Amino acid sequence: VQLLRDDGSEGLKEKAAGALWNLSIESNDLRQSISDAGAIPVLVQLLKEGGVLGKEKAAGALVNLSISGDDRRQSIAQAGAIPLLVQLLRDGNAGLKENAAGALMNLSITCDDRRQSIAEAGAIPPLVQLLRDDGSEGLKEKAAGALWNLSIESNDLRQSISDAGAIPVLVQLLKEGGVLGKEKAAGALMNLSITRDDLRQSIA
């Protein structure tokens, strides 16, 4: 973590972020230790100012740190990660887009305020676009997962997701995606159909 704080080279910071990404893959105790060491703000800073590989590794570490622990998710949001992640959805390479979608999926799991912040940052159109594009199965699964989470509570967000053209591409993923992609597409379509007859008709 100190290497990310120091005024070191881009390559050094990239490797430090990559190490944190790897260390945070499986163990929740290690994720908490990384967070307690102050990693989140410096990873977000790298997300803002790093090179392509540094941003990809920082985003990957943030994906893992946000898998569990709502305190960590909130810390990531408060550090300013959400608009940076949305920007990567639009402008990043395939690896950056997948990590950004994964982080936004995790950040939108539990908190309606974070869901609203993600939507207000403009995440919904690029998430839908990722489902249209010829991307990887993992990328589409994470984009669908983010839309599933964003559609949990708010009718306004459900309408925004529908208005962005999500329903046909979610149905397509339900037909042609992998197991996880189909699950997340089904979850998103379930949420979109909860309260609105017109959205149910669009899905049907």
pLDDT one digit per residue (tens) for the chain, 204 residues: 788 887 778 888 899 999 999 999 989 999 999 999 999 999 999 999 999 999 999 999 999 999 999 999 999 999 999 999 999 999 999 999 999 999 999 999 988 999 999 999 999 999 999 999 888 999 999 999 999 999 998 999 999 999 999 999 999 999 999 999 999 999 999 999 886 666 666 665
CA distances from 89 to 10, 22, 126, 173 (A): 22, 22, 6, 19
